[in-house]
Amino acid sequence: MPTPAELTDWDLRHFWHSFTQMSEYEPMVIERAEGSWLVDVHGRRYLDGVSSLWCNLLGHRHPRIEAAIVEQLGKLPHATTLGMSNVPAVELSRRLAELAPGELNRVFYASDGSCAVEAALKIAFQYWLQCPTPRQGKTKYLAYDSAYHGDTLGSTAVGGIERFHALYKPLLFDVLRLPPPDARLGDASHHLALLERALHRHHEEVAALVIEPLLQGAAGMVLQPPGYLRGVRELTRRYDVLLIADEIVTGFCRTGRMFACEHEGVTPDLLCLGKSITSGTLPLAATIASDEIYAAFLGDYASGCTFHHGHTYAGNPLAAAAACATLDVIADERVLEETVPRLAEKMARVLAPLRDHAHVADVRQMGTIAGVELCSDRDGGIAYPANQRHGYRVAKQATSQGVWLRPLGDVVVVMPPLSINDAELELLGHVLRESIDAICQ
């Protein structure tokens, strides 16, 4: 059994971490977890304030989800889904179709959110070549500045965060851009007017619009004005453009509904899911298509209209079993009806004192998702210089006090597992306030 010192050394020597400047990385090797807590190899405990990057929905090591994985492991750990099915993936497909809005009945699996978006982009492109009235000119996508949809080349192309995507621009296809639909910068009618102008001009060449419904996650939990998503759906229908909803962050109860689209009665043409789908236990994602889109891919072999796309572990039975168990817990423990409203209200109370803090520009919250935006001077509306990395330093200070947080620039994200109790949430809020006080002076 390796010692903590050996693991720390190997971590530095061999493990290249995602989104991490390795020259300044300080090892933090997690050994185990329980409920809302992570425990490292030295026995130090950390309250997981961001659900292990927004995916551990129901808490670490939920016994029912673990039991489902163990039971499935004794039956079938893996089988390809190319030309065959497995029991958990079939069951999950039915259940997702029943939960998804409208006629979203056809589930295509991937292993992560980036690949779910990648599949949606390719499906939208191919649909316009094979639909009853083909439109070969529809080869472009409409997306938003400050959007984040993943890190494969297609999902990177429709993303709009410079620090993540600018370097790879020579590798990416061109995308038509809209300003972020930030509620602070205008109401729904203002942003919809910008969208309609773009659609009027470009609809004949646009295959699909890609949107994070209700809030842009990696942009800093930026909220959209009420009515905007519903207006987007109406305009995309009017101009014959498909709507791809990226609910990898917002799906599965986080916003107060099973899917964020439901808040405004919207059914997209393609719905992308990931992260919380297995409550953070195993890699799985899904792209759910409408019956109309699916029908365009049906034909005999000679037609060539098959969707030639897929991943080795897509629809893995262990992951599908974990997802089915996650849905069971959500239903049986009344997570959507009771847990989320209670936790959202408690989060709002815990974060309320920060709204008057001299170095907090904004506290944005939707359901159990929140972002605390730091600033140099709230009254003067003065932001910190980005190179001072106040968000990073506040999160680092919080970690030293036993609360694991991760920032988006100078926005500190708060998105705990739904297993968090009131005392733990109070601790999170207390440590966050003290950390802001310690760093932002």
Q: Tens digit of pLDDT for each residue in 28-57?
A: 999 999 999 999 999 999 999 999 999 999
Contact by Cβ (8 Å): 59, 36:
yes
Note the pTM of the prediction, 2 decimals. Answer: 0.97
What one-letter code names the amino acid at 215? L
148 belongs to an annotated ligand binding site: yes
With 0-12 / 13-18 / 19 or more C-beta atoms within 10 angstroms meaning exposed / middle / buried, residue 22 is exposed
Q: How far is Cα 121 from Cα 126, in angstroms, rounded to an integer?
A: 9
Percent of the chain scoring above 70 in pLDDT: 100
Q: What is the CB neighbour count within 10 angstroms for residue 84? A: 9
pLDDT recorded at residue 81: 95
Closest listed residue to residue 165, CA positions, set 185, 187, 148, 183: 148
Contact by Cβ (8 Å): 275, 241:
no
Contact by Cβ (8 Å): 428, 48:
no
CATH numeric code, 66-332: 3.40.640.10
Asked whether residue 381 carries a pLDDT value surpassing 90, the answer given is no
What does the domain layout of the chain look like in residue ranges?
A: 4-61+334-439, 66-332
Confidence bin at 441 (pLDDT 50/70/90): confident
Lowest mean pLDDT among 202-206, 379-383, 410-414: 379-383
What one-letter code names the amino acid at 411? V
Percent of the chain scoring above 90 in pLDDT: 97
Average pLDDT along the chain: 97
Instruction: At 420, list the tokens.
Output: 């968090």
- The architecture that CATH gives domain 4-61+334-439 is Alpha-Beta Complex (3.90)
pLDDT recorded at residue 165: 86
Contact by Cβ (8 Å): 15, 28:
no
With 0-12 / 13-18 / 19 or more C-beta atoms within 10 angstroms meaning exposed / middle / buried, residue 391 is buried
- The predicted model gives 280-304 an average pLDDT of 96
160 belongs to an annotated ligand binding site: no
311 belongs to an annotated ligand binding site: yes
Asked whether residue 380 carries a pLDDT value surpassing 90, the answer given is no
Coil, helix or strand at residue 373: strand
Residue with tokens 């995916």: 55
Contact by Cβ (8 Å): 101, 259:
yes
Identify the helix (H) or strand (E) that includes residue 54: helix 51-54
Instruction: List the end-to-end C-alpha distance of the chain, in Å, as a whole number.
Output: 45
pLDDT recorded at residue 164: 87
Of the two residues 166 and 292, the one the predictor is more confident about is: 292
pLDDT recorded at residue 163: 86
pLDDT recorded at residue 359: 97
Strand partners, 176: 142
CB proximity list for 301: less than 8 A, separation 6 or greater: none
Q: Which tens digit of pLDDT belongs to each residue from 68-106? A: 999 999 999 999 999 999 999 999 999 999 999 999 999
Radius of gyration of the chain (CA): 22
122 belongs to an annotated ligand binding site: no
Contact by Cβ (8 Å): 178, 198:
yes
Instruction: At 124, list the tokens.
Output: 């939208």
Contact by Cβ (8 Å): 344, 256:
yes
- The predicted model gives 250-259 an average pLDDT of 98
246 belongs to an annotated ligand binding site: yes
Confidence bin at 169 (pLDDT 50/70/90): very high
The DSSP secondary-structure symbol of 248 reads T
